[in-house]
């Protein structure tokens, strides 16, 4: 079903699944899945756990109705003969380094804080920046409030908000919906305008020579993330956006591991942050100059906010940390839930609704701090996060794809599967994979080492997205994984210290817009329009096609000129007609004119090289509308 906006395509769940998941008015949900070969199918959904599904003899559908459940958003997947898969009929998914879940949205008649409402919406910009701390290119997402472009003189406070272990930088956007929560609060005049920065909490995975074990980052302080945050990301944000650069106008927070990272970095840099938020987390009790100097620390912190669910597996550790703060005389606000299934993004969204109205609001934050209560007494029954829990939640990862000097190794663990194949858009037929004694299937592909392509595994005739690969094609139906060698010249990881453009999404018009670096004052940039594939969203030209990485590289090498790239689902050049300025030329490239992403990327390179030869029309009356530097902020 076609939708009007990118977010409708990705986030409107109850319209998502007329062939799959159905939400009923009483809060129950009917899950449906089609697979004629399956012997056993279960659904695993956060509000009900794993439940068996029954096959309807007439329709062939596997079905089960569960609930009722409280209105909210819930991750779920199907488990087909022991193999976990996303719902192939659901366009909405949970961005993650490891597990692959779909997202279910149960609406409320009264509305929820994260609903997409008819209010002014901010924009989301995907950024890349060279990190000296990382020794490579890092990524983040930036939320700009609805009025950001209205007044080029106004500056804004900044909230750095970090996702949890194995989450990507997209999770607070696609699952936590921080942008819509704040949009709604701003419309109600219940929060201050602010910029929100969503860093990637495990940046070593982005390196061309990433750690072979692929394990999630779990230590903080002298780690790469902390150094990058303070020394690279913050300076980039303050150079490229209109920010107020003092501790009274900076906040930091996060969920799970991100909460630990936020608290540690916030408390370690109280000269930079005065608003600290922890959602379902805790941090070290050994930070120099903080806990043993309570009076001075209390003066520096405007808001110290800690929230956790009493049914969270981190509750014991979080409660102990709260009690530790109390014993040291350090003020804090504490919030507890008991009805959101523990360590979940339902809690993360709820905590956002509680804290966003307090940020950069001296009166409201002081009132909250004044009313902060002591930690609840210890009962001895609290769950604790131990090494055993860590091992259970984060088992030794399967590395797939693994890029070697002479090929790409794909791996998939399925001990009970009879046959596993690699399906790839570059290959005329599937490649048979071999199983080892641990039940891990693998195959090495010796060709296309530096190409970018979509692939999946075929497990006993069922398509499965690679659970070990965090890069997913934004397909409307079944979602393929994306292979993109970090050592490719058009991969951000290998590009070195060059300037990068920014990608923003126009949610109202279902468009994406890339603004390149090196724009010049008074010069109309080259315009390129990319038409997304019929079966994918407008994100595909960047997430699979790498249009931003390609353009950044070619501009850095002086093989392409500064330009503006728009991505839409239809060819807009016909509609512009008389709206074009004299001398303006639209360069259009349609994805569906080429069968593979390798061919599409090569066509884009060719187009950018051709556009380089086109003359630059000058428009003196334009002023600095497309200028670089501060004007692009």
**pLDDT value of position 359:** 98
Q: Specify the fold of 402-467+471-484.
A: Immunoglobulin-like (2.60.40)
Q: Name which of 305, 301, 302, 281 is nearest 291 in CA terms.
A: 301
Taking only the tens place, the pLDDT of each residue in 429-438 is: 999 999 999 9
Residues of the chain with pLDDT under 50: 1-19, 210-215, 217-221, 577-579, 621-632
The CATH superfamily label for domain 6-106 reads Immunoglobulins (2.60.40.10)
pLDDT tens column, 38-62: 999 999 999 999 999 999 988 889 9
Task: Kindly list the distances between the CA atom of residue 157 and the CA atoms of 95, 193, 244, 629, in Å, as whole numbers in the listed order.
Answer: 27, 8, 5, 20
For residue 615, the model assigns a pLDDT of 82
**What dihedral do alpha carbons 157, 159, 160, 166 form, nearest 10°?**
-160
Q: What is the pLDDT of residue 19?
A: 47
Residue ranges, CATH 2.60.40.10, the chain: 6-106, 402-467+471-484
Distance between CA atoms of residues 356 and 182, nearest Å: 7
Which residues lie below 8 Å from residue 242, measured CB to CB, with a gap of 6+? 148, 152, 154, 155, 156, 633
Q: Check: CB of residue 220 under 8 Å from CB of residue 113.
A: no
Contact 310, 344 (CB under 8 A): no
Please give the Cα distance from 191 to 359 (Å, whole number).
8
The predicted structure's pLDDT at residue 223:
85
The separation between CA 294 and the C-alpha centre of its own chain, rounded to angstroms, equals: 36
Q: What is the DSSP letter of 386?
A: -
The segment(s) of the chain belonging to CATH 3.40.50.1820 are 123-370
Name the residue among 514, 505, 517 with its Cα closest to residue 239.
Answer: 517
CA nearest neighbour of 304 among 279, 275, 328: 275
Residue (of 110, 205, 208, 226) closest to 162 by Cα position: 226
Cα distances (Å, whole numbers) of residue 293 to 275, 302, 330: 18, 16, 9
Q: Does domain 123-370 have CATH number 3.40.50.300?
A: no
Q: What is the CA radius of gyration of the chain?
A: 25
Q: Is 298 exposed, middle or buried (0-12, 13-18, 19+ CB in 10 A)?
A: middle
DSSP track, 502-523 = EEEEETTTTEEEEE-S---TTB
What does the pLDDT read at residue 588? 94
């Amino acid at each position: 079903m076609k939708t009007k906006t990118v977010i409708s395509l990705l986030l409107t769940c109850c319209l998502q699944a007329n062939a799959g998941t159905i939400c009923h008015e009483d809060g129950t949900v009917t899950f449906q899945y089609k697979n004629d070969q399956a012997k056993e199918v279960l659904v695993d959904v956060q509000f009900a756990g794993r439940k068996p599904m029954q096959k309807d003899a007439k329709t062939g559908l596997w079905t089960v109705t569960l609930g009722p459940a409280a209105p909210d958003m819930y991750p779920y997947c199907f488990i087909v003969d022991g193999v976990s898969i996303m719902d192939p009929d659901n366009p909405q998914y949970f961005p993650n380094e490891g597990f692959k879940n779909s997202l279910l949205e149960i609406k409320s008649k009264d509305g929820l804080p994260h609903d997409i409402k008819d209010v002014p919406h901010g924009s989301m910009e995907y950024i890349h920046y060279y990190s000296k701390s990382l020794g490579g290119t890092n990524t983040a997402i930036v939320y700009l409030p609805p009025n950001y472009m209205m007044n080029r003189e106004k500056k804004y406070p900044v909230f750095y908000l970090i996702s949890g272990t194995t989450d990507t930088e997209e999770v607070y956007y696609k699952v936590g919906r921080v942008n819509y929560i704040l949009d709604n609060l701003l419309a109600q005049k219940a929060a201050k305008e602010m910029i929100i920065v969503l860093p990637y909490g495990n940046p070593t995975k982005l390196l061309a020579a990433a750690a072979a074990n692929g394990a999630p980052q779990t230590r903080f302080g002298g780690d790469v993330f902390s150094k990058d945050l303070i020394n690279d990301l913050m300076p980039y944000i303050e150079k490229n956006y209109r920010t107020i650069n003092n501790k009274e106008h900076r906040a930091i927070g996060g969920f799970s591991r991100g909460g630990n990272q936020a608290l540690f970095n916030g408390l370690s840099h109280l000269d930079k942050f005065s608003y600290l938020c922890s959602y379902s987390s805790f941090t070290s009790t050994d930070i120099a100059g903080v806990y043993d100097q309570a009076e001075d620390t209390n003066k520096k912190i405007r808001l110290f906010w800690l929230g956790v669910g009493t049914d969270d597996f981190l509750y014991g550790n979080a409660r102990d940390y709260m009690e530790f703060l109390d014993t040291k005389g350090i003020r804090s606000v504490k919030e507890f839930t008991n009805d959101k299934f523990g360590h979940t993004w339902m809690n993360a969204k709820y905590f956002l609704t509680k804290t966003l109205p307090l940020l950069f609001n001296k009166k409201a934050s002081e009132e909250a701090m004044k009313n902060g209560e002591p930690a609840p007494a210890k009962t001895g029954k609290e769950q604790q996060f131990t090494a055993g829990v860590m091992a259970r939640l984060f088992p030794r990862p399967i590395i797939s794809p693994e890029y070697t000097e002479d090929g790409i190794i794909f791996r998939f663990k399925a001990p009970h599967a009879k046959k596993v194949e690699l399906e790839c858009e570059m290959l005329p037929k599937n490649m048979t994979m071999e199983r080892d004694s641990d039940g891990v299937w693998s195959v090495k592909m010796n060709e296309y080492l530096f190409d970018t392509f979509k692939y999946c595994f075929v497990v006993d005739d069922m398509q499965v997205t690679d659970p070990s690969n965090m890069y997913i094609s934004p397909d409307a139906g079944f979602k393929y994984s994306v292979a993109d060698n970090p050592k490719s010249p058009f991969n951000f990881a290998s590009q070195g210290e060059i300037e990068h453009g920014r990608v923003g999404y126009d949610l109202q018009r279902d468009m994406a817009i890339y603004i390149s670096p090196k724009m010049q004052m008074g010069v109309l940039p080259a315009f390129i329009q990319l038409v997304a594939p019929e079966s994918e969203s407008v994100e595909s030209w960047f997430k699979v096609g790498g249009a931003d990485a390609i353009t950044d590289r070619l501009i850095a090498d002086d093989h392409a000129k500064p330009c503006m790239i728009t991505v839409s689902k239809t060819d807009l050049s016909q509609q512009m007609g008389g709206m074009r300025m004299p001398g303006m030329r639209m360069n259009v490239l349609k994805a569906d004119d080429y069968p593979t992403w390798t061919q599409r990327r090569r066509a884009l390179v060719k187009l950018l090289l051709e556009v380089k030869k086109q003359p630059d029309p000058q428009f003196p009356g334009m002023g600095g509308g497309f200028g670089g530097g501060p004007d692009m902020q």
